[in-house]
Structure 1
Amino acid sequence: MAQLELIEVVQRYGRHTIVDGVNFSLEPGRIACLLGPSGCGKTTLLRCIAGFEEIAGGEIRLHGQAVSTARQRVAPEQRRIGMVFQDYALFPHLTVDQNVAFGLRNLPQEEASLRVRQLLATVGLHGQGDKFPHELSGGQQQRVALARALAPRPELILLDEPFSNLDVGLRERLSVEVRDILKREGSTAILVTHDQNEAFAMADEIGVMYEGKIQQWDVPYNLYHRPANRFVADFIGQGVLVPGTVEPDNAVRMELGVLTSDTPVECNESCTECDCGCEVDILLRPDDIVHDDASEVQAEVLNKAFRGADILYTLRLASGSEVLSLVPSHHNHALGEKIGIRLDADHVIAFKRGADCACDHAD
């Protein structure tokens, strides 16, 4: 049975719909992420799951039991959900030990103390229990907040932009560490973030949200390599859309050559196997374009972004179209220089371009 299930969940402020018919389920021990731009409804949806907000329609279930419908709502404190907030929300007048033990007041003191010591060791804060929050770094305070949420062994952990107040390097490192902690505890969790690097580092599955809807719920690999629509393609990773024409046998012809897919080419949402000469836009990621001095296809270096091991080149093709290419940094080319490139992709992500495809009218 799913730990959490959302069925056609709707939430509104007055006439303004914030969450619009969201469906997903989460199995025990899995870590999910609601990912999307500001204002897409992800934090509102998290607050609905926590029980802080009512829903206007649909149903939220925990272990098969309805906790939110349009007619009734189980109180947050009765849902056995742990919450980690963006601002940590630690009690400044309590020590680290006392903060972590806050939700263990119904346990015998010896049992509660043992649980606190175990969690502080788990989050890497062994021996820090006598300190107060202001004596800790931001990363340490976030670990305390996580330990406090984990202490009562909740059925679900919700993390609302938990790393947004930290610097980039610490944010990336801590997201990996928090995932390890959650996995060791066997916790089921949902993270809310607008940062895809955090989402990829932490989540087993990700729901990309836009305008109150889940645009795609999938594993990180598929979001990057097989986006469901243009919004997901644009929001996840980097890439460009170049024009192409669909040919038989899962092939697409474009300026860079013919790209053959390992799956049928989908030239629009209703046509899942297209070979009728449709005009499409093809998504090319930087890792789909390989630097190759022996290639006859030449491109001009328009821009370059040094990234240590790699350089991200913006390249102009003969037609004036631009593509991106991620190249090992020992290939250091000057702006305006022509370099050889070739395609290296094993599938095609195509979106219908312009007029309706011919296959739209096929019998």
Structure 2
Amino acid sequence: MSVLELDAISKRYGATRAVENISLSVPSGSRVAIVGASGSGKSTLLRMIAGFEFPDAGRILLDGAVLVDHASEVPAHRRLIGYVPQDGALFPHLSVASNIGFGLQGKAGLKRPRVLELMDMVALDRSMSERWPHELSGGQQQRVALARALAQRPKLMLLDEPFSALDTALRATMRRGVTQLLSDAGITAILVTHDQAEALSFANQLAIMRHGKLIQVGPPEHLYRFPQDEETAHFLGDAIVMPAQLSFGWAMSALGKVAVSNRHLSGAAQILLRPEQVRLDITEQEQSDLPRGQIIDTDYSGGSSNLTVRMNSVGCDMNDANHGMTVSIRCFQNSIPKVGSTVCVKIDGLAHVLSPPPSS
């Protein structure tokens, strides 16, 4: 069963199409990440779901009930949707307890048990209940904002880049904690982010937005391995994309003869390999039939290095167009080949054939 249904949602600001004809189904209990570059329309879409803005066309349904269509609009405070903004948006003149209990009915004394329960849920020490927001760290403030959003027992939780203001280590810890909390509570959640690693870690369904349009939707692992196009491939992580000639399930490329996932395609195409599929071996064995090349540049970055390799056609059946082509390969090996070294290239698994770009 789907908690949320978006049906052909569109939103325009003057001549700018912020969101264009988006349809999306969010299953009950799922965690969806809407990911895209700045200006892709993802935050506008989230604000329309929350009820802070209204679409120019389309329908939004929650548990089968219409939230907005051409004839009616349910205001934000009646939607039973929790919302956590990027900066937490806490009331500076209210204590932690008062912030969390702001939307609860009754006097402060009656709210107290529920407030303490919510503090426990988000791993906030009860002794912090009377502190002011400015006395909290960034991570603690986001926990208060999350507790306040959970107070109403929402059917759906919306998270608008809630971890972006935190430092790297704290961001990862908060993300894991929030993911576990939402999962344990069985709350359906939508996260908006421009951070692809955050989206891949958080979600069990990923939605890619670009220029106001929904480009691709599916499980994170599937989108990472089988992106629809080159731009999506690079957005979701390091990618080796190169031209190739396809024939009977094989691609002839700068990295030699590579097996591809689609055996029915033929002709010129772009293929994708992820860095973890490529291994480099230093060799002096001239009889090796593996594709080989020469390291012409290295860029060390701790746990990995980016190597620029000029490929040649020795020992492999490559077309002339690929001879001498340079390929950027991220290497995770402990021993990094030096500049000038000759290396053999080994490919694990299948290359993915990318869809051609739309004709102009």
> Scaled by the length of structure 2, what TM-score is found?
0.89
Kept in 2: contact 1:29–1:187 (CA 8 A): yes
Written as runs of structure 1 = structure 2, the 5 A alignment for 1:1-363 is 1-106=1-106, 109-110=109-110, 112-127=111-126, 128-248=128-248, 250-261=249-260, 263-265=261-263, 273-274=264-265, 276=266, 278-294=267-283, 296-318=290-312, 319-352=323-356
Select between 292-301 and 334-343 the one with higher mean Cα deviation.
Answer: 292-301
The separation in 2 between residues aligned to 1:158 and 1:233, in whole angstroms, is 26
Contact 2:2 2:25 in 1 (8 A): yes
Gaps of 5+ in 2: 313-322
Question: Structure 1 stretches (4+) deviating beyond 6 angstroms?
Answer: none
What amino acid is the match of 1:328? F
Q: Partner letter of residue 244 of structure 1?
A: A
Aligned residue identity for 1:259: V
SS at match of 2:34: strand
Cα pair distance change 1:84/1:307, threshold 3 Å: same
**CA deviation vs aligned residue, 1:179-235 (integer Å, no higher than 9, x gap):** 111112211111111110111121111110001111001111111110012221221
* TM-score, length basis structure 1: 0.88
User: Unmatched 5+ residue regions in structure 1?
Assistant: 266-272, 356-363
Kindly report the root-mean-square deviation, in angstroms, between the aligned alpha carbons of the 2 structures: 2.2
SS at match of 1:216: strand
Residues 33 and 107 from structure 1, CA distance in 2 versus in 1: closer, same or farther, beyond 3 angstroms? farther
Aligned position for 1:361: none
* Residues in 1 aligned to 2:223 and 2:259: alpha-carbon distance in whole angstroms: 20
Percent identity of equivalent pairs? 37
- Partner deviation per Cα, 1:228-264 (whole Å, 9 max, x = no partner): 122212211111321211111x222223222223x42
Is contact 1:285–1:324 with CA below 8 Å preserved after alignment? no
CA distance in 2, matches of 1:235, 1:32: 17
CA distance in 2, matches of 1:186, 1:120: 18
SS in structure 2 of the partner of residue 174 of structure 1: helix
C-alpha contact (below 8 Å) 1:46/1:158 kept by paired residues: yes
Letter of the 2:338 partner, please give it.
Answer: A
